[in-house]
Amino acid sequence: MVAVCESSKDHATSQTRDASLRPLLWTLLLGGSVVSISNSALNPAIPVFMSVFSVDIVMGGWVLNAYVLAMSIGLMVSGYLSKHFVFKRIYILAMFGFMLGSVLGMLAESMTMVIAARAMQGISGGLIIPLSIGMLYQVYPKSKHGRVMALWGIVVMMALAFGPLLGAYLVEHFAWWTLFAVTLPLSVAVLLLSWRLPALVNDKDNAKKSQPARFDTLGFVGLLLWLLVLMAWLSSLKTDAATSAANALQTGAIALAFMCAFVLWWRYEAKQSTPLINVRLFAQRTYLHTTLISITQTIGLMIGLLLLPIIVQDVMGSSALWTGAILMAATVVSSVTTHFAGRQVDKHGARTIGLVGIVFGALSMLLLAGILYQPTLWLLFVVMSVQGVGVGLAYLPTTSVGLSSLDKSVVTEGAALNNISRRIVSTIVIALVTVYVAGRDAVSVVNQTVGALSTAAAIQDVFVVLAMVLLLTLFCAYRLPKHAAK
């Protein structure tokens, strides 16, 4: 009887605590949605900016590059800020910065101002995402991390899914500046909700956070310069490597120099007591394995976003609307699967779910390669839905387990390291994929091969290699905890 009463009391306490955390949860979910909608709605509109401001594709590409680079900067400093300043103030400042970026974009009179607006949004978004994840992990117990991250994944994925359709509608029926204006009401709502939130740290934590701390300036400058040079190298690689074999040796030498500089930076960060990016977190095996899984899953997602429009529009000759419909269907399937997987991870651990998800993901890549012999829209719907199941099982659920394995005080740093690792690696891989596909197209012109057939063959090769890479991460999933955290 006493045990039953204590169990009922614990259940009531848990429900009361969950109710008190709902305003924070929905505020963070709405903030993440603002960032996701802005990102996915603007990227497909790059040709519109090129036309409006009369710039070439190199300048137009900086709408995306500036955002990714600036977001990396935000990710870099998020761990330091979360440790030494009050969460509520940082979050409000980051959302205010994102809103200012939207206003600057609306008022832009040149491509330079548009790029500056995207950079401001990128820095702010790079703060908002890891701060949100870190706070959720701090206020919720480990037993609920899976379902909380599942809810986070559903909301963010749905925002990413509807973003391109929303952006296309706004560009077609209204002016380009509405792409920035559309997020303003949501940004204002998040600011108001954040302002009304109670203090999320106690006085002791406030005292600690108010103390001055050393900022890893050398690490920050080193990584920033490395990212700038990396972006410049990738841009030249896309243009030159596919058209001029004479540049291959020079490009390889630069790539080797990048790797040496990265290794030196990594060793420097690993020795710092207060590093900019806490690379020592990779010493935690569960976190390392889940990060490797999330990197490969992100590569699969990004390559799908890159190559699916080519398959639908160039290879099949169908409307771009079908691309949006297929991507939306895959995202909905992934969201539903993520919700299911989050609950299962909380009960049974991530090993089995991770293994099954990776197999589904690899299978979808092989199926995509196979159906390119005779592609049809309904087959693409089916195969991309299979990929959605794989992502829903293997991505966020396993990532949540990796972050749960860290101490609560470094979860924000862990989220930042995970995000920046995924973005840098996927950017490099996507650049190499575009070089390969463009190179095959160039060869087809020389050999007088039908362009669509050559493109399809190149894409098949990419999907097969990606399937093999995904299968390699089965080892990582097998090393995950077999049982749920208590």
- Give the start-to-end residue ranges of the domains of the chain: 21-199+215-222, 281-486
Distances (CA, A) of 99 to 94, 104, 117, 154, 250: 9, 9, 10, 24, 42
390-412 pLDDT, tens digit per residue, is: 888 888 778 888 888 888 777 77
pLDDT value, residue 48: 74
- At 413, the amino acid letter reads E
Residue 251 or residue 352, greater confidence: 352
Average pLDDT, the chain: 76
Residue 256 or residue 1, greater confidence: 256
Tokens of 370: 């196979």
Distances (CA, A) of 177 to 100, 162, 424: 14, 18, 29
Name the CATH superfamily, with its identifier, for domain 21-199+215-222.
MFS general substrate transporter like domains (1.20.1250.20)
Q: At residue 200, does pLDDT exceed 70? A: no
CATH level 3 topology of 281-486: Growth Hormone; Chain: A; (1.20.1250)
Cβ pair 70, 123 in contact under 8 A: yes
133-145 pLDDT, tens digit per residue, is: 778 777 777 777 7
Least confident of 339-343, 443-447, 450-454: 443-447
Least confident of 143-147, 271-275, 386-390: 143-147
Tokens of 88: 């509520």
When pLDDT is cut at 50, 70 and 90, the band that residue 207 belongs to is: very low
Which residues lie closer than 8 Å to 152 by C-beta, 6 or more apart? 28, 29, 32, 132, 133, 136, 396
Cβ pair 34, 183 in contact under 8 A: yes
Q: Do domains 21-199+215-222 and 281-486 have the same CATH topology?
A: yes
What sign results for the dihedral spanned by CA atoms 23, 24, 25, 31? positive
When pLDDT is cut at 50, 70 and 90, the band that residue 271 belongs to is: confident
5-15 pLDDT, tens digit per residue, is: 545 554 555 55
When pLDDT is cut at 50, 70 and 90, the band that residue 469 belongs to is: very high
| Proportion of the chain above pLDDT 90, given as a percent | 8
Residue 63 or residue 61, greater confidence: 63
Q: At residue 45, does pLDDT exceed 60? A: yes
297-339 pLDDT, tens digit per residue, is: 888 887 876 677 677 766 777 766 677 677 778 877 887 887 7
Which residues lie closer than 8 Å to 97 by C-beta, 6 or more apart? 120, 121, 123, 124, 127
Q: At residue 43, does pLDDT exceed 70? A: no
Phi/psi at 407 (5° precision): -65, 145
pLDDT value, residue 450: 46
Tokens of 49: 């900016």
93-131 pLDDT, tens digit per residue, is: 899 999 999 999 889 888 889 888 988 998 898 888 878
Phi/psi at 198 (5° precision): -70, 165
Which residues lie closer than 8 Å to 202 by C-beta, 6 or more apart? none
